[in-house]
A and B are shown apart, each in its own frame.
Chain A
Amino acid sequence: MFFPISGAHISPIYLVIVGFVIGILGGFFGVGGSFIAGPALRAVGLDWNFAIGTDLAHIVGKSVVAVRQHRAFGNVDLKLGLIMAVGTIGGAEVGAQLIQMLKRAGNVNLVVSVVSIVVYVSISTFMIWESRKTLSQTRLSSGTVKDTKAKHDPSAFKHVTRGIQRLKISPMITLPVSGVTISLWIILLVAFVGGLFSGFLGGGAGYIRMPSMVYVLGIPTHLAVGTDLFEIIISASYGTFSHAIKGNVDILIALVMHTGAAIGAQIGAISTQYFTGPKIRLAFVPLPLIGAAIVIYTLMTGHKL
């Protein structure tokens, strides 16, 4: 199929399958899936600028589907998502500026690669330790998680989270859906850091934001997944518009990819109801590691995936 905007010839079946896989991951883990979509679009000859912009557009659609599904299960905190969107957009702008500075200094690739490897591996290591410890402490069953009591999310890191929630830096925000009262500045800081990594490393940075929401803000895992996706709709829409006016978005490719993602995102979102929080977090561990492996491959071979 010919896509006139980017001038690319790509099989629609390939795009639908890629969208489907990313949709499942996005619906289940609350991530954008750029670490797969970017290389997958590059692999069929799409230029990097189009791969990044088009992926963002596709993320908007996929997140809309997943959020509607998560909302039906009561897994979206709209108030938290809206506050976080402000911090994310600010952070993404600063991250993009950092990239420009490093570009001028001439060492952007090495710095970004090393930072991303350290961040990805650290997240995975921490999450595997925490989720395994929590699982061994609580011996949770793998039954369906439908009642709110089951959404009470045990964590071996809870004492640190409670300490953060006790910091009374005005104004304090109450989030009734998540059952948390916390300083507005801490929410904005978490969102800003997520946005910073998004602008700096590319993609939606859900691999940082979702764990941060659980461990720093104390949001239950199911709500963190749904709310992160809601926040992604806003920040990815902003990114799509920004890339579109720079000529980096082939919306036709994004629409075709999304036909697969629409089904995948629903499957992913529904699947979260059958797993407890620590199990979702444990299953999340390979995602940042895949990201790290892609960066290491790029560094060692010089080929950008």
Chain B
Amino acid sequence: MKKETAKTLRAFLIELAIYAVLIVAYFFLVLHFLGDWLHQLETRHRYTYGSVAILLMIGQAVVLQNVTTFLLRLIRRRAE
């Protein structure tokens, strides 16, 4: 049981480290360039901005969850 917990914890920590690298890249490659466009949209087309905001949020949620699930599966498979 303890061995299993240690294994899970190790896999989770590795996942966190990889996730952190991916997130930093995401900040600089995606959000940095998206910033100006969203700012323009927020200033000129508020209704479109509201819709885009919700879609971006839901889209990011689905993608990040899939990424974390994939990472965890991959790390566990390698550990076994």
| A contacts, CB < 8 Å to B | 1, 3-5, 12, 16, 57-58, 60-62, 64-65, 68-69, 237, 240-242, 244-245, 247, 249, 251-252, 254-256, 258-259, 262-263, 266
For A262, what are the chain B residues with a Cβ–Cβ distance below 8 Å?
60-61, 64-65, 68
Does B46 contact A5, Cβ atoms closer than 8 Å? no
**Chain A residue at minimum C-beta to C-beta distance from B66:** A68
Does B68 contact A240, Cβ atoms closer than 8 Å? no
Nearest CB of B to A243, in Å: 8
Nearest CB of A to B59, in Å: 9
| A61 and B38 alpha carbons, distance in the complex (Å) | 18
Does B23 contact A255, Cβ atoms closer than 8 Å? no
The one of A12, A60, A256 in contact with B58, judged by C-beta atoms closer than 8 angstroms, is A60
The one of B42, B54, B62 in contact with A237, judged by C-beta atoms closer than 8 angstroms, is B54
Does B19 contact A263, Cβ atoms closer than 8 Å? yes
For B39, what are the chain A residues with a Cβ–Cβ distance below 8 Å?
4-5
Does A249 contact B53, Cβ atoms closer than 8 Å? yes
| A57 and B46 alpha carbons, distance in the complex (Å) | 15
Does B57 contact A247, Cβ atoms closer than 8 Å? no
Nearest CB of A to B23, in Å: 5
Nearest CB of B to A234, in Å: 11
**What are 28 A-B pairs with beta-carbon distances under 8 A?**
A4-B36, A5-B35, A16-B23, A57-B57, A60-B57, A61-B61, A64-B61, A65-B61, A65-B64, A65-B65, A68-B62, A69-B65, A237-B54, A241-B51, A241-B54, A244-B42, A244-B50, A249-B42, A249-B49, A249-B50, A251-B56, A252-B31, A252-B35, A258-B60, A258-B61, A259-B26, A262-B61, A263-B16
Q: CB-CB contacts of B27-40 with A at 8 A, as 1s and 0s?
A: 10001001110110
**Chain B residue at minimum C-beta to C-beta distance from A58:** B57
Nearest CB of A to B70, in Å: 13
Nearest CB of B to A232, in Å: 13
The one of A12, A62, A247, A255 in contact with B56, judged by C-beta atoms closer than 8 angstroms, is A255
Does B38 contact A240, Cβ atoms closer than 8 Å? no
Does B54 contact A60, Cβ atoms closer than 8 Å? yes
| A58 and B47 alpha carbons, distance in the complex (Å) | 18
Interface size class of B (residues with CB under 8 A): 20 to 34
For B36, what are the chain A residues with a Cβ–Cβ distance below 8 Å?
4
Does A258 contact B64, Cβ atoms closer than 8 Å? yes
User: Which secondary structure dominates chain B's binding surface?
Assistant: helix
| A198 and B47 alpha carbons, distance in the complex (Å) | 23
Does A5 contact B54, Cβ atoms closer than 8 Å? no
Does A245 contact B47, Cβ atoms closer than 8 Å? yes
* Top 5 closest pairs, chain A to chain B, by CB: A244-B50, A64-B61, A262-B64, A61-B57, A61-B61
| A254 and B55 alpha carbons, distance in the complex (Å) | 12
| A255 and B38 alpha carbons, distance in the complex (Å) | 12
| A119 and B39 alpha carbons, distance in the complex (Å) | 39
**Chain B residue at minimum C-beta to C-beta distance from A60:** B57
For B68, what are the chain A residues with a Cβ–Cβ distance below 8 Å?
262-263, 266
Nearest CB of A to B11, in Å: 13
Does A252 contact B38, Cβ atoms closer than 8 Å? yes
| A251 and B23 alpha carbons, distance in the complex (Å) | 16
Known: A57-B54, A60-B57, A244-B50. 6 other contacts (CB 8 A): A4-B36, A4-B39, A64-B58, A65-B61, A259-B60, A262-B61
For B47, what are the chain A residues with a Cβ–Cβ distance below 8 Å?
245
| A117 and B21 alpha carbons, distance in the complex (Å) | 42
Nearest CB of B to A155, in Å: 31
